[in-house]
Amino acid sequence: MSLIKDLKPYKDEWRLTVKLLHAWKQSTSYGGDTHESKRYLPLGEWKVIDTFKIGQAGGQYRPTKQKYKMTILGDTVITPSEFQNDSHFLDLASYEEIGNGKCKPNFLIDIMGQVTDLGAVANVQAKGIDTKRVNFFMRDISGNEIACCLWGIYAEQFEKHIESDAGEIEICLIRFAKIGNYKGEVQITNAFDATIVVLNPTMEEAIDFKEKMMNNPLPLALCDQSDEKKIMTKSVEVPLIDHNKESSSEDVSTPFSKSKEGDADLKDMNSTSKTEED
């Protein structure tokens, strides 16, 4: 049995025990779907995978930091595993490292925080298509805040929660989130439909986070800018990034103002499943 970190592209006879954490389907230009084997890889279940191809990982927005990626072959064998682990395998990014640039924007991240300054869900048009948008801030236990803007189905998720009287949205977990930038300010947004948003999550990490927030209430956040502590008040404008646009306006620079080569890389990211090894 091999470990993901030991995989190399010089052979195909590998054997792994893995758990499928997330998958998103994309139709290819040459026909068929990238996940025809999905019935053998249900989400959340541990499987043993025998014989698969290892290639160089790439893409403008990569879901993991692994150097290589796995490709399922025609003779790949997928069988149930006796190993069980209910962990969600969160890899929560540090707000400080997002702000200082240590978290690279070409990698998707997991981020969790207390929801503040939640705006109303807005109906907007993007490239002539009606969609929804919601913006808010998230705060960590140290009081650092970061702007967030979610689009489409993720904004609708907020709207449905609010309309259902399910209670206040206190904590938000965003998995496979994209780090954007607007006028020099960092902003978290969804990576098309590859992102997962969980409102008021109940996993162990979320419970621990909420307890720490309750024991250390922070009505205002302190943001370190140019070696000075600056209070971020509720009047701060939430910068917005239109993730549906491929090019930016005169005063908006987004990760989607890239070349067609970057768009091709994004397609590569969208055809990747994320797994966690034993």
Neighbours of 208 (CB within 10 A): 11
Q: Which residue has the tokens 């930091």?
A: 65
- What is each CA distance from 144 to 38, 139, 241, in whole angstroms? 39, 5, 21
Decide if 4-86 and 95-245 have a common fold.
Answer: yes
Looking at this protein, which amino acid is placed at residue 234?
A: K
Q: Quote the Cα angle for 128-124-132, to 5°.
A: 110
d(CA 253, CA 181): 7
Burial class (CB in 10 A: 0-12, 13-18, 19+), 260: exposed
Quick one: which H or E segment has residue 157?
A: helix 153-163
Query: 4-86: what CATH class?
Result: mainly beta
Mean pLDDT by 10 residues, the chain (278 residues): 71 82 64 60 86 81 80 86 86 94 92 96 91 96 95 96 90 96 87 92 95 74 38 38 39 33 40 51
Residue in the block written with tokens 């290589």: 68
Question: Residue 12's pLDDT is what?
Answer: 76
Tell me the CA distances in angstroms from 183 to 104, 234, 247, 251, one per residue in order: 17, 19, 15, 8
Q: How far apart are CA 99 and CA 177, in angstroms?
A: 15
pLDDT of residue 27: 52
Q: Are strands 46-56 and 228-232 parallel, antiparallel or unpaired?
A: unpaired
CA distances to 65, 125, 197, 202, 270 from 151, in Å: 25, 11, 11, 24, 17
Q: Which residues pair with 52 in a beta bridge?
A: 72
pLDDT at 274: 56
Domain spanning 95-245, CATH architecture: Beta Barrel (2.40)
Q: From residue 219, give the alpha-carbon distance in Å to each of 140, 145, 233, 236.
A: 12, 11, 9, 15
pLDDT score of 204: 94
Where exactly are the structural domains of the chain? 4-86, 95-245
Q: Quote the pLDDT of residue 87.
A: 81
pLDDT number for residue 211: 92
How many residues belong to the chain? 278
pLDDT of 126 reads 84
pLDDT for the residue numbered 238: 40
